[in-house]
Amino acid sequence: MNQALEFRGAYTAIVTPFTADGRGLDLARLREQAAFQARGGVRGIVVSGTTGESPTLEEHEYHELLACAVEVGRGAGLQVIAGTGSNSTAHASALQRAARSMGADAGLSVNPYYNKPTQEGLYRHFMAVADAADLPVMLYNIPGRTGVALTPETVERLAGHPNIRGVKEATGSTDSATEIASRCPGLALLSGDDSMTLPFASVGAVGVVSVVSNVAPGRVSELCGAFLGGDWARARAVHRALFPLCRAMFAETNPIPVKAAMRLLGRDSGVLRLPMTAARPETEAQLERALRGLGLWPAG
């Protein structure tokens, strides 16, 4: 395991670029997007997560996507975190091993969805994943998508495993974030919601896994740099400037709005795979207003 790896700062939950017909990956576009993230100063990219439409990827596509991301990430100085979650413990463990063998820096492992396991089931699941490969694990606590939440008590139990090094907290709860930070001082706490990055930082978070940074990596990096450097006034100013875009990015289910924003800016085809569908016109209008407000318009 990479003992020197530290989760800290801005990470982009990068979209998966598809070809115009949606049937294949656009790896050339992925290389462009990863390079754009590196220029924006983010610490790393998360590949094949929620924003990357991981449930729609074929197994061979997952490997192609990760191989491309690792190649580009290494050249650009980015950490590459592979989405390795599954509601099957055996499958999640296999993905963790695959991520290790392909050169990823860590795995992002989501709560098992649909099954709705108990806290003991969650504990055993993530311990098995952490045991599966000599690779850092970032827990991904997102009950709104999975139907079950890791409690702070269970996170504390899991934090004793040397491979479990961070948690992406997407509960939207400052109470949960506060308790995790208090119980697990050695575990890197990162926000999983862009609008909660600064509130979570105030109780101990050290970064964010961001959707907004797909289009504004420099601003999200600036936000993290400000609060990590103790410049809370600057952090509040950046947070407030980003807030309209944060809201617009979640006007519909992620990644519908971010794919629309990327298309509006000429940086992606905007193609989604079913069951995701194109953004509503009112969402696109909200995105355009927010992008204009940040000086990211016009397209192209």
Q: Any idea which residues carry the catalytic annotation?
A: 140, 168
Single out the residue of 244, 241, 248 nearest to residue 223, CA to CA: 241
| CB 11 within 8 Å of CB 190 | yes
Q: What is the distance between the alpha carbons of residues 164 and 180, in angstroms, rounded to a whole number? A: 14
Q: In whole angstroms, what is the distance from residue 290 CA to residue 300 CA?
A: 16
Q: Identify the bridge partners of residue 47 per DSSP, sorted by sequence position.
A: 82
Tokens describing residue 55: 């449930």
